[in-house]
Amino acid sequence: MITKGYGVDKRERFKEHSECGTRNAECGIIRNSEFGIRSSEFCPVNSAIRIPQWSGNSGMTIIEIIVVMVIIGILSATVIPRFDFTASFRASVEGAAYMIASDIRYAQEFAMANRVSKSVVFTSGAAVHTFNPTHTLDSSGQLPSGVTISNNFTITFNSLGEPTTGGGGSVTISGGGQTRTIGVVNYTGKVNIS
């Protein structure tokens, strides 16, 4: 009789565990801590469906890293060839042309304001132009890196702002296959960039 009672009791426990396992499976709960999923001891049949919540460290798998590297490779293969490396030389030469035009206008205005003659001297192959006579207000005349003067040219303005030397002439600058010519109109001293 003791053996029979023990057997019945054992069957009842097995039945409870199998029902609980069925209920947990219905509720979507996995009772395994290997996967880092929180487990529940009790899952009523009539309760709402529970969604497992991940716990533990989150990281990237090797597949995700490879996908990110492939995307970066595709972007670099399509973007880098479209980058125009000559744009920096073009910008340098353009900037140098406007700087030289500004310095020529400065020399003209300085000559008129101080009632003196003022010259700007350009030397072929140099990366700097100079003023004569020099003054503390003069710019350094340093051209951007890679830009040089292509021809010798001197422009001199009198106290009325007229070009007495170099009127009707021009200076050419170049760098990285780009060239610009800065011309000075005779009589008026107007500066043009072409």
- The answer on 132 and 92 residing in a single domain is yes
* Contact present, 141 and 149 (Cβ < 8 Å): no
Alpha helices in the chain (DSSP H): 2-27, 62-79, 86-114
- The answer on 13 and 100 residing in a single domain is no
Render pLDDT for 58-84 as a digit per residue (tens, 0 to 9): 677 889 999 999 999 888 888 776 666
What residue numbers bound the domain in which 158 lies? 86-193
CA 137 to CA 96: how far, in whole Å?
19
pTM, entire model: 0.57
One digit per residue, the tens of pLDDT, for the chain of length 194 reads: 455 555 555 566 555 555 555 555 555 544 444 444 444 444 455 455 555 555 556 677 889 999 999 999 888 888 776 666 666 778 889 999 999 999 999 999 999 999 999 999 999 999 999 999 998 888 888 888 889 999 999 999 999 999 998 888 999 999 888 899 999 999 888 999 99
Q: Which of 145, 133, 143, 132 is nearest to 171 (CA)?
A: 143
Q: How many domains does the chain have?
A: 2
CA distances in angstroms from 109 to 114, 117, 157, 161, 163, listed in the order given: 8, 10, 9, 7, 12
* Contact present, 122 and 149 (Cβ < 8 Å): yes
- The answer on 11 and 92 residing in a single domain is no
Sheet holding 118-122: strands in order across?
A: 130-132, 118-122, 153-157, 163-165
On whether residue 69 sits in a domain, the answer given is: no
Angle at 121 between CA 116 and CA 124, to 5 degrees: 170
Of the residues 33, 55, 77, the one at which a domain ends: 55
Displacement of CA 38 from its chain's centroid (Å)? 45
The domain that holds 97 is classified in CATH as 3.55.40.10
